[in-house]
Structure 1
Amino acid sequence: GGEGGEGGEPAEVPEAAKPRLDETHAVPEFTGLWSAEGQLGGGSPKKAWNNLSKLEQRYMEEALARKKAGHGWIEKQVVGGREFKGTAFVPSEKGRDVTAIVFKDFEPGKVYKRKVTLTNASLAFNTFKLLDLPDTVKDFFEISYTHPGAMSPGMMCDMHIRFEPKVNEDITEHIPLLCKTGPQNIPLRCLTKKADVTAKATDLEFDVIMGESQTIQLVLVNHGALDVPIHLRQLAGLPADLSPQSVAAHLAAAEAEGLYAEAPEPTLSYTADSTAGNYATTKIDITFTPAAPGEAVVPLHLRMPKGLSVPQSPDMLVLVRARAHEVPIYVLHETMDFKCCCLGQTYSQIIPVCNRGKVALKASLVVSRELHGFVSFSPDMAYVQARDRSGKAGRFDFKMKFEPEEKLLKRCKEFLVEGPTGLMDTIEIPVRVGVPDQTLPVHFNFRVQLTTGLIKFSQEEVDFGVVAVNDSVSVKLGVTNVGELPQRLGFPTLPREVTVQPNTGFLSLLPGEERSVELIFCPFSDIHYNFAVTAVAGSNAPYTVQCKAVGVAPPVEFTCTNFQLRACAPTDRIQQSFFCTNVSKEATSMELLVPRNSGIKLSPLVATLEPGQTGRFQLDFCPPYQPEHLSQMLLEMTGGRSSRMQVKKGEG
C-alpha cells in the first residue's frame, strides 16, 4: 500500500500507459473484401474484379457511377425556406476570386505550383470530395489539400496544385469536385507560349504639305510570351479585286513568289526589321517626306516567321495612303525676267505672290547679299490673304525696284550665265520669299542681262579750221552704239553757228550700229570760236564734243549766193547776172570754178578787183542733151506708162 491507494481511490495510471486517440481505430461491424482472407479477400484487386461474374461486374460499375455522381452524398441545402443553387466553393488566388485556374506560358519539363483557396459560399455547412482528373492529363498534375471536414459558410481550404507538363500543347480541362450540394467543376487552363501580335491600325493616312514631313507610328501589341521578329517590305502592287478575305492568300503568294518592289518608295522611310517583344508594345516609325505634290497608296507586307506557336498571328497588310499638297504661298511666275537692262538706269516690275491656303499668311521678300544695294522691294513684308470661296488664290503684288551698276557683275560672278549674245553678261540668281508658317521657303529666279548704255564718238574734239563769215564748213562725226539695246541720240541744244544733219541731229542706233552725222559750222563773226556740242542719249546720259574754229571776214561780197533758175529744156539757154564787190583794202584777184558737165558757164572766170570796185559776172545755163537721162526722167514722170514711146523720142 502506497499513499495513492489509501481512501479506496483508484491508483493513478502513468501517462505513458494511457491509450492515444489517434491510435484508437474503429472496428467495422462487418468484414470487407479488403481484409478478407481466402478466395475473395486480400491479394490483388484486379484479380478480385476478374473473379466477379458479369452481373456482379455490372452492379459494381453501376455502384461506382452512383458514387461518382454523388448518390447518397448529395443533399439539398435549404436554409430559411430558401434552397441553395449555385457555386458552393469559390476559388481564389492571393485573395482575389478567379473563374479559372490558369497556368500561362508554360514550358515542357518545368514544374509549376499554384495555391488555390476554396471558400464555402453556400448557406450552411458543406464539404467536398476531389474526383480524379481525366486520364489524358492526370499524369501532369498533383493536387493535395488538407480536408477540414464539414466547413461552415465562409470557411476556406487551401488546395496545392503541382503541374509538370510533358508536351508543348494547350490543356483545357477542369478539376472535378463533389460537394454536398452537387458536383462542381473548376476550369483548368494551361497555355503554352504564344506569338500573338496585333496592330492597332493597319491603314495609315498621311496628309503633308510640300517641304514638311510627317511621322506616323505603326503600333504593334504582342499579347504573347514569345519575341516575334517583324519584317516590313513593300509589295509590288495590289490586285484590283483584292478583298479582306483574300488578303492572307495574296500575302502568302507574295512571299512565295517574291512579289516585292525592286525599288522601294523613296519618300517613305521606316525600319524594315524589328522585334515585337513579349507582352510589349512595339512602335515602328513610318515617315513620309514628299518630293512632289500628288497622291499614292503604298502597300507594305508585315511578315512574321511561321511555326512559332499554335496558333499564331497571321501576316498583315499595311496600307500607307500618302497625300502631298503644294505649299500655300507661291510666286505666280517662277522666273522674273527683266530682259536686257542698261547700267545706271532704274527699272521696276510687279512680283505677284499668291496664297492657295485657307488662312492668311505672312510673306516677306528677302534681298540676298549679292543683290543688296541694287534690288529693293516695296513693301518688303505683307500678309497674303487666303483663297476665296470659289477657290481662287489670294494675291498680293510686291514692287521690285532694280538699279544696276557695273560692280553688280563682279558681285554676282557665281550666278553669271551665257546671254543671248553669247557673252557672260546675264545674271540668274534665286530670290527667297520667306514664310514663317511654311517650312519650305519659296524661291523665284531673277534673270537680267546687263549692258552698257555708252555711245562712242569717233572724235572727242572737232577743229573746223578757218571759216569765212557767212560761209559754212561741215565735218563728219562717227557715232557708235556700244550696248546691246537700241538707243536714240539727239542734239537738243546747239550753238546758233552749228547745225547737225541729217534729221537735224536726231537718229536711232541699233545695238552695235555705227552711223555718221555732219556738223556744219557757219560763223557770223570773224572771231575765234571754242564751244561744246552736247548730245543726249535715250538713257539721258549727256555726251560732249569740243569744237573750235576761226571766223574770218571775206574780201569780196556777192549780191546773190543762191540762184533759183526757171525750168529749161535741153539745148535751151538761160542767162542770169550777179555782182561782186571788193570790200577789202587791197586789190583782190579771184577765179570762179564751174562744175564739169553741169551746163553752166561763167564769164569772166578770172577777175581782179580794186578796193571798193564792183564787177559784173554773167551766168549762162544750157542743159546738155543726154538721151539716156531724158528717157529716165520721162519714165519717172509718167510712172512707167508709154515707156517705149518715150525711149524712142529720146533716141530721136
Structure 2
Amino acid sequence: MLSCICVYINITEHLKDFIEIQFDPPGQMSAGLTCEMMVTFKPMINEDLVGEVNFLSQTGPFSILLKCTTKKCDLSVDTNKVEFGTTVIGETLKRTFTLTNNGALGTKYEFFKLTGSKLRTVTTAETSLGRLTTADTLRGGTPDSLSMMKKEAAPPGDKKPDQEIVDKASQEGGGTSIDHQGTQAEADAMSGTIGDVEDGEQSPDLAISEIEDYGSLDGMKVGPMSTGEVGPFSSVKLEIIWQPHIPGKVFTEFLISFSDPLSESISIQALANAIDVPVWVERQTVDLKICMYDRLYQDTIIVNNRATTALRLKFEVCKELKNHLELLPKTGYIQAQSQFSAQLKFLPRKSLFQEAGKYFDKETGVLEAPMIIRVADQTQPVPFTVQAVVTTSDMEFDITNINFGCCTIHESVKTRIRLSNKSILPQEYGFVGLPDYVEVQPDDGFGTLLPLESIDLDVIFSPKKAREYKFELNCKSIINREFKIQCEGVGVHPPLDLSHQVIHFAATALYDVSTATVHVNNSHISTNEFTHPVPRIGKGEIVPVGPTSFEFKIPEGAPLTISPSVGTIEPGKKCRVQVRFAPQLEEMDVRKEGVRMASKAMEAKAQKEYQEALQKEKEKADDALEVGEEDQKSGNKGKGKDGKSPAKGKGRQSPGVPTLTVAGPKPFTPPTLENITKDTPAYAAALGSLLRQYKSCFRTYVIPCYVASGKCGNPGELPYTNNNTLYMEVHCPVVKPTLVAISDHGKTTLDFGEVSLGQTIIKSVTIQNISKKTIELTSSLLDTSGPFLMLNALRVLPPDGTHTILISFTPEAGRVFHEVLQINSGTSVLHVTVMGEGVNPIINLDMPTENGAFDIGAVLAGEYLERTFKMQNSSSLSIDYSIKLESLSLLRHAKSQELPSFIKQDEKMKSLVGTQNNNGQNVFDLVPSEGRIAPGATQEVTVTFAPDHPSDHYSDFVKIELFGKKESHSFHIKGMAKKNVMFVHGVDETTVNVESLSESPPSTLEEEELKGILPSVLFSVKSIAKESEFVPGSRDIYVGCVRTMAVSQKKNGEFQFENVQAITSKGFNIDPQRGMVEAGNLKPVTVTWSPPPGHDPNEPVEASIILTLKGDITEQVKVMLRAYVVSDVEDKTDKTESTENTQT
C-alpha cells in the first residue's frame, strides 16, 4: 500500500452558514491509518440541509455526504377498517384500534365522525419562521380522494390574508348506505393555500370549530378520547361506539386529523349491520283524539313477534298516569311469529291536571304518555306513546236564578240567558221537561254548541193564570249531563185587556199614514172567583168591580199617535182606540243634508266663477301679448330709419308672462243648521234628496198601557199599578216612497193664497216615479161642492216618469179652504195639501152722484165733455176690473122691444139706456175700461160725453165687474146736449123721455113765423094745506151756461126775468130776477108761491113770465107757472113716488 496526503478543500456553498469544519491535515498517511475531522452544525432554519465536504488526495478529489434533517412524525394505524358485525338495535358495541407515531416529533390529533356531519372550518396558523401553512379541512372525504397540500414559495413582500375553506358539496344525512359517493364529492371540493406571513408567532396552533353532528341516526359515534396528543415513538388507543336505532347496514367514515401540517389525515371505515328487535308494535303513537273528563275511552294495542320462539311480555304504565290509564293484561306471552292484542283503557279524571306532571300540558290540555313493553331476554324494550287532548264537558250559564217578576196572562216576559260551551268539542244540548207556560227559543231550546261557543237564549214566561210560579229549567247535554236554573214568577190577571196585543202595520212609505184599530175591554163584572177567573195579582186581593181608567204612553221619538190615549171604561164596556203610524225623517238629518247640498252648490258656483275669471285673465294676457308684438315690430322699423335705438327704460317693455290676479275660488260661508227651516227651498230640496236615498227599515215599538181602578182624578195624573200594566207591540216597516214631488223644490203643499171670490187660479204640482216599477196612479176625490178641482186625469207612470197635475181654486165664500189630495200608487200614498183663502173684493167709488146717477152735465151738440171718478181697492189682494156699458150689451135690442113707460106703467120695466148718437158712436166712453188695481191703490177713470145732436135724455147704465164675473157696482150716467150756450133746466116734462129714432120732419112754417113763437117751459109749484093755514110752496128752476170749446165765445152768460110784477099779484115771487152764470155751472132761481087771500084751493093758479138768456145768442123763453094746493097726505104720496122714480 502507498501512503497519501489528504487535504480539505471546502463544503457546499449553502451549508457554510450552518456547518463549521475543523480538520488538521495529518500529513502522509500510510495505508490503514485514520484521522479525525470535527463537524459542528448550528441549525438556524427548520429545513432539511444536504451537501458535501470536498477533499483532495493524491489519487484525486473525493467528498463526504453531509445531511441535516428536521424532526418528523411517522403516523399509522393498525387497521383502516373496523367491522362490528351484526347486532340487534338498541344494543351497544365498542371497537378499538391503535394510532402509532414512529417519528421523533409529537403531534396533536382529533378523531371525529365524517359521515353525516357538517363540514368544519379549520383556520390557518403561523410558523415560527414566517412560513404560513394551511390546516386540513377534512370533513367529508376518503383518504383516496383527499388532495395533498401544496407548498409554494410566495414572492417577497406578497402577503395573503388567512383563508377559510368552505364546503360547497351537498351533504349526505343518512350514513346507513355503503355507497360513499357523497363523501368522495365532498373531498374533491376541498383545497388549500400556502402564504407568507410576518414573523413573531411561536409554536403552531390548530384552531378547529366545534363539530355539529347531525348524522347520529346510524348509531355510530366516537369514543371518549376524541382529541389528544401522541408523543414521539408512542401510541394511543381510539374507540368507536355503535348503538343502532334503525335496522339496516351501516357504512360510516371517521377521520383522524393532525396539527402537524406535514402529516396527512388518516381515514377509518366502520362497517356494521343492525337488525330489528323481534317484538314490535304496529302503531308507535296511539292517538285517542279529543277526550272528555270522566268519560271512558278504549283502544287496542297490537304487538307482533317476528322471532321463531314465544316471548313473555310485560306492559308498564308510568306511575303518574296509573289512576287514569290502564293496559290489560299487564303480563302475557306472544307466540312465535304471531300477534298479541292488549286493551288500552283511558278514563281521565279531574285530578289529571295535578297528577300527570310533565306528561300533561295544562294550557293546551295535550297528554303525551310514554308506554313500555318489556320483552324477556331482550335488552331494548318496545316503547310507544299514547296521545290525547283532554277537555271538559261542562256547559255554563251566565246566571243561576231567574226572577220573571209580575207578568199578565195576556202577555209574555222574556229573559235572555247565555249558554257557553267550555269544551273544545261540539256539544248538543236540549231543554227538556219544560212546563207549558215556559218556552226557550230559538229552535225550541235544542241545538249544538261549537267548541268554546256561547249562544244567547230567550226564556219566555207566559203565565196562564193569576198565581205564583216556581220551576226549574233543565238543560241536558248529549252525554246526559244536566245543568239547571231555578226560576220564579207571578201571574197577573189585569182588570182590562186589549183586543190585539200586537199590531202589524203594512209597509208604509215615508210621509204616508197607516192606521189600525184596537179595543180596550173591561170584562170585569163579577168578583166570584169560582165561576170565572177574576182580576188579581198572584194570590192577592181581587180587584173591585167598577170603572177602570187607562193611559197609553208613547215612547219619545216614535212616529205613532194613539187616540184617545186616556179614557175610563165602565164594567162590561169597551173603548175603541185608533193607532196612527206616520213615519217621517228626522228634522236634524234633513237640515244636515240641506247644509251639505247648499255647500256643494256654493262650492260649484265659486269654482265656476274662478274658471270664468281665469278665462278672462287668459284672454287679457293674449291681447296684451299681441299688442306688444305689434309695438315691437313698429319699433324695429323706426330704428332702421333713424339709426337710433330707444333709450333704456323708456317706452313699452316687452310683454312677459302676466301675473294672475285670481288666486283661487272665492271662499264661501256655508249656511248653518238654524238657517235650514221647513219653509225654505233648501229644506224641501234636502228632503227630496233623502227620500230618493232612503233604505227600507223595520222598527218595533212597545207601548205601555197603564191601568188604574176608578176614574181619573186630576188631569195628567193616573194612580196606576205597574203590575197591571198592559203592553202593545207595534211593528212598523218603513219603505221608500214610490212618488215624490219635484216641483217647487219638492214641496207637496199648493198654497193659492188669497183669491177673490169667483176668481179661478190654476196651479200645478209635478210628481215623479222614483221606484223601479211601472205604477198606476189613482187619487182621492176632492170636495165636489168645494172650490178645488183637479183638471187633468192621472196616467200610468214608468220608472223615473213624471206627471203634472193641474188644480184650480175658485172660492165662492170669504173663508179659508183646506183639503188633502191623496195620490195612490198601490204601495204608497202621496199627500198633496191644497189650501187657499177666499177674499171678498171691495171697491169704493168716489164720484159726485145725484139721485144715484152720475150727471156729466150739459155740453153743446158736436162737442165733448170729460169728467173723472176714482175707484179705490180696499181689499188685501189685487183686483181685475172691467167696466161695461149697457148700450154695448148684446141684450140691449131685446130689452128695447118693451113698451115705453109713458104707454105702460110697470115697476119691473126699467129703461136703462137713453138717447144715443145718430152717427153710431158711443155717447159715453170710460177709459180705462179694464185693468188691475193693487191692494190699497186707487184707479182714476175718465168719462167722456160726446153727443152729436141736442137732447136732454142722453143716459146709459154702467156696470163694474170684478175678475170678469162678479158685478161689484152699477150706476146711471147721464148728460144733456144743448143747441145754445144758455139753457133752462129743472122744469116739468112736457114731452116723453123717449126719443124717436127717425129725424123730426122739417117745419112747414116760415122762418119769420117761427121767430114770433117763443119756446115755452112748464114749471109747477105746490102749496101744502094745513088745518088753519097754507104753507107756501117753493121750487128751484136752474139757469145753466154750457162751457164751450169755441175760442171766440165768452165764458159767462146772463139771464133776466121780464114782467115779474105781473105774476106777483097771483102770489108768485122769483129770487133772483136776474144774474150771471159762469160757464159750466147752473144758477138756481127760487120760485115761491103763497096762495093769495080768498084763494080757492080746488083751483090751480096759472101765470107766465119771459126769461131772457144772453150767451152766444140772446134768446127768450116763456116760463109757464102753475100753482096748486095739496093736502099733507097727498104731499107725502107725491114725495114717495118721486123717490121711486128717481131710484128707477
Q: Taking structure 2 as the reference length, what is the TM-score of the superposition? A: 0.28
> Which structure would you say has the larger RCO, counting Cα contacts within 8 Å and 6 or more residues apart?
1
Query: Quick check: which has more Rg, 1 or 2?
Result: 2
